[in-house]
Amino acid sequence: MRQKARLSHGGRAFALNNDTISDKQQEQLQSKVIVQMVPLLGLLAFLIGLPANSLAMWVLLFRTKKLPSTILLINLTTCDLLFLLVFPFRIIYHFQDNNWSFGEPFCRIVIALFYGNMYGSVVCLALIAVDRYVALVHPFGAKTFRSNKNSWCMSTLVWIAVAAAAVPLLVSKQSYVIKDRSITTCHDVLPPDEQEKNFMPYFVTLFSICFLLPLLVVVFSYGSVLRTLKAEGQRYAHAIQSNVIVLMVPLLSLLTFLIGLPANSLALWVLLFRTKKLPSTILLINLTTCDLLFLLVFPFRTIYHFKGNNWSFWEPFCRIVIALFYGNMYGSVVCLALIAVDRYVALVHPFGAKTFRSNKNSWCMSTLVWIAVAAAAVPLLVSK
């Protein structure tokens, strides 16, 4: 049951007693998921996202013609990079049992950058969808509308969204001392009356304007594009197919990456550190490893399709990406087949399973997975 807030002055900051915060907040502060899983996933996202977005930014700035769509992609990548830069501080915070040690002003900056650039990225994606809508649904009007000047004006909307999300967080108190736990939280625990009066209306408004509205724009824009392409008929079948690839494949790849990476990372962590090493567990570890390696190439494939199927990351890296893509895709299929064999032996031949289903045999079977990966990857690595 939620307790009423009791605030007392504690020097420069308000201090909260354990009975100031709700039971749910107490559980969240002590949750192993928050203090272990969240920082691990954040660390993984940072280690992959920072170099991937930095490389994308370098390509967009120095290896890509400055088209209207390029300008919007530069702004999207900038938002993503600023969003990622706060991850190390959030990771340290959670690893320290939700104890913030960088001071109140820096807590405000980190939270403002986190939410500001998260919603800025969403607005960017909506503007990119509008750009594609105008280019394909209104091609004659696109000559006037799609200019670098207009793209920079549209980009201003992104940073207005960032500012709208960031400024209220910059000017309001974010860190509070939990007396009985001897920790200082950053944004995770706020006085209930302040949440209801200030932050609840703020986040509802922000969610509606900077997420729901852009989502509707994206759905309308890409829906209109696909209807327009379909209406052209079989005469332009090749153009339809090409544009669907350029539009839909990167969006589906991005969605797969955003869902698959944290899900498989969490699964691998559970299998390695929270699960008894049974024969089936060993096979699942190999399956999850294949899936993760498969997912790691998705950002580069997404950029490739967003740029109209134009590869700009050098020939050797193209070979590596394609080899990882096909190698681990077929490796996952072999893994699934071996897991099916393992279940077949366990359920259909339970007596023979005692001999066959051993960790040693599972590791031997896993070798088949990586032979399949190598068989699919090596020819792609050595050919242009």
pLDDT, tens digit, 9 for 90 and up, residues 46-70: 887 888 888 888 888 888 888 888 8
Q: Flag the least confident range among 154-163, 233-242, 336-345, 355-364.
A: 233-242
242 is a domain residue: no
Shared-domain flag, residues 161 and 265: no
Could you say which of 200, 231, 262 is where a domain stops? 231
Q: What is the pLDDT of residues 302-333, one digit of tens each?
A: 777 776 677 777 788 888 888 888 887 878 87
According to the model, what pLDDT value does residue 15 have?
Answer: 53
Domain that holds residue 216: 1-231
State whether 306 and 224 are in the same domain.
no
How many CB atoms are located within 10 Å of the residue 272 CB? 12
Specify the pLDDT at position 241. Answer: 52
Same domain? For 269 and 167 the reply is no
Q: Cβ atoms within 10 A of the Cβ of 244, count? A: 14
Domain termination site, one of 199, 231, 263: 231
Q: Band of the pLDDT at 383, cuts 50, 70, 90?
A: confident
Is-contact 243 225, C-beta < 8 A?
yes
In this structure, the answer to whether residues 193 and 264 fall within a common structural domain is no
Same domain, 113 and 215: yes
Structure confidence at residue 8 (pLDDT): 36
**Higher per-residue confidence, 21 vs 260:** 260
Tokens of 90: 């959030």
243 in a structural domain: no
* Paired strand residues for 8: 15
99 shares a domain with 199: yes
The tens digit of pLDDT for each residue in 221-239 reads 888 887 887 676 544 555 5
Q: What percent of the chain has pLDDT over 70?
A: 81
Q: Are 28 and 160 within one domain? A: yes
Spatial contact of 97 and 35, defined as CB atoms under 8 Å apart: yes
Is residue 241 situated within a structural domain?
A: no
Tens digits of residue pLDDT in 152-165: 988 888 888 888 88
Write down the mean pLDDT value for the chain. Answer: 78
Question: Total domain count for the chain?
Answer: 2
Pairing of strands 7-10, 13-16: antiparallel
Q: Vertex 229, ends 145 and 216: CA angle to 5°?
A: 65
Whichever domain contains 13, its CATH number is: 1.20.1070.10
User: Are residues 200 and 269 located together in one domain of the fold?
Assistant: no
Whether the predicted pLDDT of 112 surpasses 90 = yes
Q: Decide which of 17 and 382 is more confident.
A: 382
Read off the pLDDT of residues 242-292 as tens digits, 9 standing for 90 and up: 555 556 666 667 777 777 778 778 888 888 877 777 888 888 888 888 888
